[in-house]
Chain A
Amino acid sequence: MTPSEKTTTMAHASRVPWLTLRRKEALEAWLFVSPTLIGFVIFFLGPLIAVGLYSLTEWNLLSQESTFVGVANFRDALTVNPDFWHVVRNSALFALGLVPMNMALALMLAIALSRPFFGVVFFRTIFFAPVITSAVAWAIVWKFLLQGEAGAVNQLLASIGIDGPNWLREPNWAMFAVIVTRVIKMVGLNMILYIAALQAIPRDYEQAAQLEGASRWQVFHMVIWPLLAPTTLIIMVITTIGSFKVFDHIYLMTGGGPENGTLVLAYYIYQQGFEFFNIGYASALAIIMFVIVLALTIVQLILRQKGSG
């Protein structure tokens, strides 16, 4: 390169602005996502990393004594502590009971309430109202209704000759009661999601199937249900995650009892962390719960992909 060529190249380089169109677009993109990104780092990623670090310690919140124990908390939970597998079993039971019941009921309500008819808004409001009702008020009312002999539910059952159980004092019935009352409280949310999905399906598909002679069941089974699959997957994932994270409902309805029959993982984490002040152990349990929920979500996604394939 001759000196004159070198000078020309340098002059050209100095004329190129730093803020190229590509850089400008990238900067704009970062600026647009930065509010969310900052919030994500501060309120999610930071605490998640902190919980990961805490889980490797034996840390008493009250005395502030902290010792690094490696994976001892995980080992204790998974191989020593009999309560851990009991609460995992309870969480799984809760999810297995709640998710199908919630989704089936939500779909039925959505089908009934997706088409316009006189009073449809009223009924949608009625079924959605429990979602925005205070969890405390909900629990107080249901505890009152589910009393032993004097409860309204058992009085109603007695009027048709059924001797109802002491709902919240017998472990199996208590689990059933907290699942059902939770379903009634939260079903409105999934109902709204299903209504939105149903309304997004063009009526042409349904009418075309009917013209071909499909029955109502065939229309639902062969046309509607496959088109609802993406929504169903989303609902299944968020309902499963929500059911593993359930805390307030259990805390208020049964306190984990009777006989630890409704002691679920989220409540057990709360107990270890905020009643016994074992923050290290509670953090390890939280990490395990995170892994369980993540694994369930991945399994659901894989099943969905296989189904669609």
Chain B
Amino acid sequence: MFKTRLTAAALLGASFLVSPAVAQELRFTVWTGNDAHLNMLNSIGDSFKATHPDVTVTFETIPAGDYIQKLTFQLAGGTPPDLGWMFENSMPTFVKAGVLEELTSTLAATEGYDLDDFSKPAMALWSTDGAVYGVPFSTSPFMMFFNKDMFDAAGLEDPLTLADKGEWDMAKFREVSAALAAANEGKWGFEFKDGQGYDSRIMHAIMPPIRVYGGNAFDNGECGFEKPEAIAAVTQLHEMIFKDGSIVPPGEQGDFFSGSSAMTINQISRASKMPGAGFNWGIAPLPTGPAGASPVIGQAGLVVFAKSKNPELAKEFIAHMTNADNVAVMAQFFPPARKSVLNSDAFTNANALIPAAQMENVKAAIANGQVLPSHEKTPQIEAAMKPRFDALWKADANVEEALKAVCAAIQPQL
């Protein structure tokens, strides 16, 4: 009897030793709920099984508006995801808080990964002192969307034609905006990104002009809004709003996508809204300025959370997800930062809504673009900026004084 029990116990123990590896799950948070996006992400998760057959990647959607808050509560509340998407303006805060895993060694050790294939400007935000904490999966430039029908009706050359002729600069932008507003009563020449330039997208509204005037918002702890370049750029916007009446003013709605404005700055993902717009359209580079061209890119990246239960596995999945093959797969929705994919014909033809010639402008903007300024105290800086910009966007505001007030408000945070 004893012998039988001993044998049974030995067999049971042996069965544990030879049993297959325990199935593992990686929880991956994203802010997209788009079925096409999720199908693509799941296919990349499935392809990871080729090298990690026991690993299942589960993508969990948290709406973009709540993403950072809910993510933070999950991290603080003991239910952390293993990895996830990260907004560009939240990245410095998360790095500073020490809640992200460093990815450098895993990416360097992954065969054929080639980290140098990512353009340096595109990686700037995701690396600190040579240590990589995130990999951008979307590097989307800001482009000028224009309503071709409104330009044609006003007898004006559109921004794409002007850019090809080398005449698409800030002066021309102001000129055509005013002409378009004059030709279309009750409509405007230009709308800030998603109509939120006075509220949640202040930086998106002011940074493209400030950059082409040669300025910046802040750099190395110094505020740049009160410098002559920034003052000149914001003065032009202010005059376009309140003197020319060519930019949708604060408190009004002038949606580009429904034909109320002739131009807007946005990212190419918004091209998906155009088939239903009911007018002919195109995308062009941003206008140049006294400092030349200065494309602006918006990014989102992939990170591994320090509290992950499987940090090494999560890092390996990021290496898998951002290898050249998968970046090419994702390029159908998310413009790539990998040069090899960016320069391929596959990317040029990836977006069925945007002609190849216009995609060349997108590629050039990605290659040369700079991200928006970021800081570990971005939420505090934006909260401090907002009331001072509210005071700026008034017809009788003194732009220079208002921008000095912005600097006074944000300097303690810098």
Contact = CB atoms under 8 A, between A and B. Distances in A.
Nearest to A59: B76
A169 B72 contact: no
B199 interface: yes
Q: How large is the interface on A (under 10, 10 to 19, 20 to 34, 35 or more residues)?
A: 20 to 34
A59 to B, nearest CB: 10
Interface in A217-271: 255-260, 271
Q: Which of B73, B186, B250 has the most CB of A within 10 A?
A: B250
B250 A63 contact: no
Contact of B390 (A60, A150, A169, A271): A169
A172 B130 CA distance: 50
A147 interface: yes
Contact of B199 (A144, A149, A255, A259): A255
B387 A260 contact: yes
A169 B251 contact: yes
A70 B391 CA distance: 37
B387 A257 contact: yes
Interface in A5-45: none
A274 interface: yes
Interface in B72-101: 72-73, 75-76, 93-94, 96-99
Secondary structure type dominating chain B contacts: helix
Interface string B370-396: 000000000110010011001101100
A115 to B, nearest CB: 43
B116 interface: no
B93 to A, nearest CB: 7
A62 B383 contact: no
A148 B249 CA distance: 9
Given A257-B387, A271-B383, A60 B97 contact: yes
A168 interface: yes
Interface in A125-168: 144, 147-151, 166-168
B249 A62 contact: no
A259 B390 contact: yes
A218 to B, nearest CB: 48
A286 B395 CA distance: 38
A207 B383 CA distance: 60
B97 A144 contact: no
A61 interface: yes
A122 B15 CA distance: 74
A167 B252 CA distance: 11
A148 B72 contact: no
Contacts of B391: 258-259
A147 B93 contact: no
Nearest to B96: A63
Contact of B252 (A61, A147, A259): A147
A305 interface: no
Contacts of B383: 271, 275-276
Interface of B: 69, 72-73, 75-76, 93-94, 96-99, 186, 198-200, 249-253, 379-380, 383, 386-387, 390-391, 393-394
22 contacts: A61-B72, A61-B76, A62-B76, A62-B93, A62-B94, A63-B99, A144-B253, A148-B250, A150-B253, A166-B250, A169-B250, A169-B393, A255-B199, A255-B200, A258-B250, A259-B387, A259-B390, A260-B387, A274-B69, A275-B379, A276-B383, A277-B72
Given A62-B97, A276-B380, 20 more contacts: A61-B73, A61-B76, A62-B72, A62-B94, A63-B98, A147-B252, A150-B252, A150-B253, A151-B251, A166-B250, A169-B394, A257-B199, A257-B390, A259-B387, A259-B390, A259-B391, A260-B386, A260-B387, A274-B69, A275-B383
Interface of A: 60-64, 144, 147-151, 166-169, 255-260, 271, 274-277
